[in-house]
Amino acid sequence: MNGFAYLRPTGVQEAVDAYAAHPGAAYLAGGTNLVDLMKLGVARPTALIDVGRLPLDTIEERPDGSVRVGATVRNSDLAADPRVRDRWPALSQALLAGASGQLRNAATTGGNLLQRTRCPYFQDLGKPCNKRAPGSGCGAREGVHRDHAVLGHSEQCVATHPSDMAVALAALDAQVELYGPEGARKLPVTDFHRLPGEHPERDTWMRPGELITGVLLPATTAGVPSAYRKARDRASYAFALASVAVVLRVADGVVDQVAVAFGGLAHRPWRARHTELALLGAPAGPAAFEGAVALELAHAEPLRDNAFKVPLARNLALDVLGRLAPAPAGV
């Protein structure tokens, strides 16, 4: 690891100014991914701007029924927040399905969104990787790719986004609050991460120097039944092979509101828009669920060794949809 300067700004503007003044700088919050990538030599910042103590560590209710989560709220605190558990349960469940107690105590809301893929080629300087070293090739496409993408991948990159939290946020229609040299703006979580395309080195649509200041949980999904389910190689403390977050409201037996997002399948949380369109207004039951989920997964393009993810994701989605749908009257 090379040496680096260390700055601890006390406000958001000061942080953004410090980034602009230090070419090669990186923002540091919980550090659970960045410090590891620095040890591996994958990340080599010349300066760290420590935003972990900025006054962004609160969860605030807004008059319109939305909740703003500050960017430095720790994953464990967000998962335990009674308002989140009661109104957006898929978010709490997704957070608790990720990492370990120690890591959740360090990891922040903003940092979780910005964690890098755990693709082994990305993390190994001795291997080709277009995300780490553009133009060097993709070792995973014809190599070890059991954990990799089945949707939305490109010739250049088949990596998946590792976050559980982001999958729930995508289904819950959350927004990311950003502040940078050009001011403040918001992006829906569904439009925050990129597909790899020709530029897998870019994970998100953030502009240079922008900082995540918070995440907005909207009133439109508050209190709507939601849940998260994750399949992994061991019972705890492992990244998703596939996961799903579902938001489902049924009125008089008919789907009134629905959102489905998959994790572990793509370079970003994958909103299943085909599934949602097919379900909206349909009778809530196994037949409709099966048909609608199949519509989305028909777009999957598995690699040599990860076709198992397609039926796995299907089964997870059908299980969660079935659990969230109220039992038909008289049963």
Partner 1 sequence: MTSAHQPGHHSEVHLRVNGKPVTLDVDHRRVLLDLLREDLDLTGSKKGCDHGQCGACTVLVDGRRLNSCLLLAVTLDGSEVTTVEGLGGDGEEPHPLQRAFLDRDAFQCGYCTPGQLCSAVGMLAEAAAGHPSHVTDPAAPSGSPVALDRAEIRERLSGNLCRCGAYPRIVEAVEDVIE
Q: How far is the CB of 290 from partner 1 (least distance, A)?
A: 25
Q: How far is the CB of 4 from partner 1 (least distance, A)?
A: 6
Q: How far is the CB of 281 from partner 1 (least distance, A)?
A: 28
Q: What does each C-alpha distance from 133 to 57, 129, 136 come to in angstroms?
A: 34, 6, 6
Q: How far is the CB of 104 from partner 1 (least distance, A)?
A: 9
Length of the chain, please? Answer: 331
Instruction: Give the residue with the Cβ less far from partner 1, 5 or 280.
Output: 5
Instruction: Give the residue with the Cβ less far from partner 1, 79 or 266.
Output: 79
Residue 12 is encoded by which pair of tokens?
A: 């958001």
Q: How far is the CB of 37 from partner 1 (least distance, A)?
A: 10
Site residues, partner 1 (CB under 8 A): 1, 3-6, 8, 28, 31-32, 35-36, 39, 48, 50, 52, 76, 79-82, 85-86, 89, 92-93, 96-97, 99-103, 105-106, 227, 235-237
Distance in angstroms (rounded) separating the CA atoms of residues 90 and 97: 10
Instruction: Give the residue with the Cβ less far from partner 1, 46 or 198.
Output: 46
- CA-wise closest residue to 267 among 170, 160, 127, 123: 160
Instruction: Give the residue with the Cβ less far from partner 1, 5 or 21.
Output: 5
Task: For 60-125, give the DSSP string.
Answer: EE-TTS-EEEETT-BHHHHHH-HHHHHH-HHHHHHHHTSS-HHHHHH-BHHHHHHPPP--TTTT-T
- Which residues have CB under 8 Å from 193's CB, separation 6+? 113, 161, 166, 203, 204, 205, 267, 268, 269
Instruction: Give the residue with the Cβ less far from partner 1, 39 or 304.
Output: 39
